[in-house]
Amino acid sequence: MKIRFLAGVFIFIVLNAWSQAPSHSAGNVPDPPFPGETIVLHLNSTFFVTGETLFFKVYCFEGSTPFKLSGVSSIAYVELIGADQKPVAQIKVTMKNGLGTGDYFFPGHMASGNYTLVAYTKWMRNFSSDRFYSANIKLINPQMRLPLADDDSPIGGRDSLSEQKRQLTLMINCFP
């Protein structure tokens, strides 16, 4: 009877010790059960004139391993966000093994200004937006006139316009 009791206590202690989770030091933290993703876009330019096309390539990496392409998501979302923080366009890009390509044509009715290009996957929206890709895009529409202020002068007044013209004049000196 005593031997059975001691064997039971021994088995209980061994199983209890075995089921304990290992302690982790600060440098040895295990990966989460579902790794995050990181999106990177390769753009043909960040400065455009209306009528041009933005071409890009999407790279989706596993968040826990650098330079390892992710196979978790098959669609990337690329948004062009205007100065008012509202999306101007949303493009769905099909990815295969973490790679995809896409393009966006800037139509002639878009206003000149600074836009933000943001890329993410649906999976990434479950986590922090720190891993979203973001790039500043400058767009010029040469067919639209500058908006006018209340006094019918260009924004900033006539003095600032003449100052801008003065700064844009090209000075050429020829030396013998």
pLDDT at 156: 47
Position 35 pLDDT exceeds 70: no
- The answer as to whether 28 is a domain residue is no
Position 167 pLDDT exceeds 80: no
- Domain ranges, residue 125: 37-144
Give the pLDDT confidence of 59-90 residue by residue, as tens digits: 998 876 668 898 888 999 999 999 999 999 99
User: For residue 148, what is the DSSP state?
Assistant: B
Residue 131 sits in a domain of what CATH number?
A: 2.60.40.1930
For the chain, helix, strand, coil in percent to 5 are 20, 35, 45
- The answer as to whether 48 is a domain residue is yes
- The answer as to whether 89 is a domain residue is yes
pLDDT at 9: 63
Q: What is the pTM (predicted TM-score) of this model?
A: 0.64
pLDDT at 63: 74
How many domains does the structure of the chain reveal? 1
- The answer as to whether 149 is a domain residue is no
pLDDT at 4: 73
Collapsed DSSP state (helix, strand, coil) of residue 47 = strand
Residues 6 or more apart in contact with residue 135 via CB below 8 angstroms? 41, 43, 46, 116, 117
What integer is the mean pLDDT of 54-62?
93
What integer is the mean pLDDT of 157-163?
52
- The answer as to whether 4 is a domain residue is no
- Whole-number percent of the chain with pLDDT over 90: 44
pLDDT at 19: 54
C-alpha torsion sign, points 67, 39, 127, 83: positive
- The answer as to whether 1 is a domain residue is no
- The answer as to whether 94 is a domain residue is yes
Q: Are 91 and 78 in contact (CB under 8 A)?
A: yes
